[in-house]
Amino acid sequence: MAGVQMGFEEGLAKTPFLAAVDEAYCDYCGECLKTCLGCGACIPVCEEGAISLVPRTHHRRPPKNEGRMFARILWERRRIGPFISERIRRTLRRVRR
């Protein structure tokens, strides 16, 4: 959750399921809204049994390691270009010394 709160929503591994509410059973009490984070914690608080988990249609695989995770974050935030050019600049500075 800390990553989502820091704004890295797309750079994180997400659960392969989403919570689905059956409106035929839901009485709109709002109890699930206090717990729903996409983790399934809302299911046991629903006394009407209106919530179930359904598979995501477009589930992304989590990054293999930390380096790939940060690369994905940079890519999604369109910061990969400036990151690479800064790395090249630093390397050239080091080589010239």
Which residues contact ligand SF4 (rule: CB under 6 A)?
Answer: 21, 26-32, 45-46, 48, 50-51
C-beta closer to ligand SF4: residue 29 or 84: 29
Q: What residues contact 76, with CB distance under 8 A and at least 6 apart?
A: 10, 11
C-beta closer to ligand SF4: residue 50 or 73: 50
**Nearest distance from C-beta of residue 1 to ligand SF4, angstroms:** 20
Q: Which of 60, 30, 67, 70 is nearest to 47 (CA)?
A: 30
**Nearest distance from C-beta of residue 51 to ligand SF4, angstroms:** 5
Q: Are 17 and 54 in contact (CB under 8 A)?
A: yes
